Chains A and B, each alone.
Chain A
Amino acid sequence: MKKNQTKAWLFLAPTVILSTLFLIWPILRAFVMSFQSGSLINLSWTGFSNYKYIFSDPEFWSSMSHTILYAVVTVPIGLAISVMLAWMIFSKVKHKSFWETTFFMPYVTSTIAIGIVFRYIFNGDYGILNFVLKFFHLPTANWLDDPSMSMITVIIFGIWTSLAFNIVILMGALRNIDPNFYTIAEMYGASSNEKFWRITMPQLVPTLAFLLTMDVISAFKVYTSIYALFNGQAGVGNSASVAVFYIYNKFQMVGTPGVAMAATVILFLLILLTTFLQRKLMKKIGEN
Chain B
Amino acid sequence: MKKLHVGTLVAYIILTIFAIITIFPFIYMILGGLMSFQETTAIPPTIIPKHFQWGNYAKVFKQAPFARYFLNTFIVASVTTIVSLLNSLLGAFAMVNLEFKGKKILQMVMLSLLMVPGEAIIFTNYNTIARLGLLNTYLGLVLPFLTSIFYMYYLQSYFGSISKTIYKASMIDGASDWNYIWKILVPMSKGGLFTVGLLSFISSWNSFLWPLLVTNEDTMRLLNNGLSSFASDAGAETELQLAAATLTVLPILILYFIFRKQIIQGVVRNDLKG
Where chain A touches its partner, the secondary structure class is: helix
Known contacts A11-B90, A99-B15, A267-B120, A272 near B149 by CB under 8 Å: no
Cβ of A177 < 8 Å from any Cβ of B? no
A220's closest neighbor in chain B, by CB? B117
Cβ of A217 < 8 Å from any Cβ of B? yes
Residue pair B209, A223 in contact (C-beta under 8 Å)? yes
Q: Residues of B within 8 Å of A, CB-based: how many?
A: 92
- B 239-264 to A, binary, CB cutoff 8 A, 1 in contact else 0: 00110111011001101110011011
- B 102-121 to A, binary, CB cutoff 8 A, 1 in contact else 0: 01001000100101111111
Residue pair A121, B248 in contact (C-beta under 8 Å)? no
Q: Note all chain A residues with C-beta closer than 8 A to B138.
A: none
Residue pair A27, B231 in contact (C-beta under 8 Å)? no
Known contacts A116-B231, A252-B213, A268-B117, A261 near B98 by CB under 8 Å: no
User: In the complex, what distance in Å separates the CA atom of A97 from the CA atom of B249?
Assistant: 22
Residue pair B124, A29 in contact (C-beta under 8 Å)? yes
Question: Which of B37-45, B53-61, B158-166, B186-194 is the contact stretch?
Answer: B37-45
Cβ of A84 < 8 Å from any Cβ of B? yes
Where chain B touches its partner, the secondary structure class is: helix
Residue pair B7, A108 in contact (C-beta under 8 Å)? no
Known contacts A105-B256, A210-B272, A26 near B121 by CB under 8 Å: yes
Residue pair A112, B228 in contact (C-beta under 8 Å)? yes
Q: How far is the CB of B249 from chain A (nearest CB, A)?
A: 5
- A 153-184 to B, binary, CB cutoff 8 A, 1 in contact else 0: 00000001001110011011100000000000
User: In the complex, what distance in Å separates the CA atom of A33 from the CA atom of B11?
Assistant: 54
Residue pair A160, B21 in contact (C-beta under 8 Å)? yes
Known contacts A11-B93, A30-B120, A105 near B253 by CB under 8 Å: yes
- A 32-46 to B, binary, CB cutoff 8 A, 1 in contact else 0: 010000001000000
Pick from B101, B213, B253: contact of A109, CB under 8 Å? B253
Known contacts A27-B120, A113-B249, A117-B28, A227 near B146 by CB under 8 Å: no
Residue pair B124, A261 in contact (C-beta under 8 Å)? yes
Nearest first, the 5 closest Cβ-Cβ pairs linking A and B are: A26-B124, A92-B11, A11-B94, A172-B268, A26-B121
18 A–B contacts, CB within 8 A, in A order: A3-B100, A8-B103, A11-B98, A15-B87, A18-B147, A19-B113, A23-B121, A24-B113, A30-B123, A85-B18, A89-B15, A103-B22, A107-B267, A108-B255, A116-B228, A169-B267, A227-B208, A252-B213
Q: A12-B91, A15-B91 are in contact. List 15 more A-B contacts (CB 8 A).
A: A18-B144, A19-B149, A23-B149, A27-B124, A30-B121, A30-B123, A99-B19, A110-B224, A114-B29, A117-B242, A117-B245, A131-B44, A168-B268, A214-B271, A252-B213
